[in-house]
Amino acid sequence: MLGLDFSYFDLEVLRKFVFGGLLFSVQLTVIATLGGVLFGTLLALMRLSGSKLLTVPATFYVNGMRSVPLVMVILWFYLLMPFVIGRPIGAEWSAIITFVAFEAAYFSEIMRAGIQSIPRGQVFAGQALGMTYGQNMRLVILPQAFRNMLPVLLTQTIILFQDTSLVYAIGAYDLLKGFTNAGKIYGRTEEAYIFAALVYFVICFALSWSVKRLQAKIAIVR
């Protein structure tokens, strides 16, 4: 009825235009998640340290990042980084740096909540055993916090994967860009965007279902 024709999007077209973009989207998601969790944990520890020297800059960074739309941060990094380092770094590298920096703010809040969810008795028990603050965090608090927050961390990762489509704004070759290029080549832009939405839906739905299963298992263990 709408005159749509998806027959153009065969395996060859997907291999030529889409798979490369999907690979970058997945790589960006994985790198941003690992980097975001790492730096986010450091930010969370800084905010919980009780030292104004650490708390104030960490709080400013987290609140600042969370108050600005991601697409604006992407554009800022892409346009300003060449002036900072004296040369362009490319859309893909700019996207990676941006996502790690941006997601760290969100993962830090998740980790902070996870750390604060651990009963204070666990902290006191570690101190009673002679553990330092670092040992207590590394051996007692953080492992439990990661387990408690794992479903939330994975849910944020799914949102992150969806947000990777925003790198389209700076021309990075992601999943959406691949479908867009294929649609333009074959004059089937509408079909390309519908197909892209379907792919995003299938991937995110499958991941969400897996997270719910994991959350149920963690609840049983508790």
CA 95 to CA 167: how far, in whole Å? 6
Nearest partner of 169 among 86, 65, 98, judged by Cα:
98
Mean pLDDT throughout 144-172? 90
Mean pLDDT throughout 176-182? 91
Nearest partner of 70 among 173, 170, 202, 218, judged by Cα:
170
The helix/strand/coil state of 49 is coil
CA 177 to CA 171: how far, in whole Å? 8
Q: What is the number of other CB atoms lying within 10 angstroms of the CB of residue 82? A: 12
Q: Is the pLDDT of residue 13 over 60?
A: yes
User: In the chain, what are the domains?
Assistant: 11-221 (1.10.3720.10)
Q: Which residue has the higher pLDDT, 200 or 113?
A: 200
| Contact in structure between 40 and 106 (CB atoms under 8 Å) | yes
pTM: 0.86
The helix/strand/coil state of 131 is coil
| Contact in structure between 75 and 87 (CB atoms under 8 Å) | no
Instruction: Please state, rounded to an integer, the average pLDDT across all residues of the chain.
Output: 87
Q: Is the pLDDT of residue 8 over 80?
A: no
Q: Roughly how many angstroms between the first and final C-alpha of the chain, as a whole number?
A: 53
CA 192 to CA 7: how far, in whole Å? 11
Distance of CA 37 to the CA centre of its chain: 9
pLDDT, tens only, 16-37: 888 999 999 999 999 999 999 9
Q: Is the pLDDT of residue 2 over 70?
A: no
b/e map 126-148, b = 16+ CB within 10 Å: beeeebeeeebbeebbbeebeeb
CA 148 to CA 179: how far, in whole Å? 37
